[in-house]
Amino acid sequence: MKTIYVGNLPFTFGDSDLANLFQGFGEVKSAKIIMDRDTGRSKGFGFVDMDDDGAAMNAIEQINGQEIDGRAIRVNESQPREARPPRFGGGGGGGFGGGDSRRPRRSY
């Protein structure tokens, strides 16, 4: 099975639109537009899985650079995701420091 990366897609493109784009080249096992988890909007790229490697390579060659809604889409074989360093939690303390409650306060 070959996974294909499709980038620079219109933000209105859905999973079925992506599948339809590739179905003329062979059987599409899955097509998924990547969505922003905070906004629920498309991130403008997605992935297509095709069983037939030859059909997938033909689709890549034929579709890469095609213009859809004024955007030239980028299509290539998906590469494995690079390992990223772990992200550490959300921000520092900050604000107001606690005082030492055992020490009496000065009065002026």
**Smallest Cα–Cα separation from 35: which of 60, 15, 18, 50?**
15
The pLDDT of residue 103 is above 80: no
**Smallest Cα–Cα separation from 60: which of 1, 3, 9, 8?**
3
Summarised one tens digit per residue, pLDDT across range 79-91 is 877 777 877 765 5
CB 24 within 8 A of CB 36: no
Name the burial class of residue 71, with classes exposed (0-12), middle (13-18) and buried (19+) by CB atoms within 10 angstroms of its CB: middle
The pLDDT of residue 95 is above 60: no
Name the burial class of residue 13, with classes exposed (0-12), middle (13-18) and buried (19+) by CB atoms within 10 angstroms of its CB: buried
Summarised one tens digit per residue, pLDDT across range 34-79 is 999 999 999 999 999 999 999 999 999 999 999 999 999 999 998 8
Spell out the domains of the chain, with CATH numbers in brackets.
2-77 (3.30.70.330)
The pLDDT of residue 102 is above 90: no
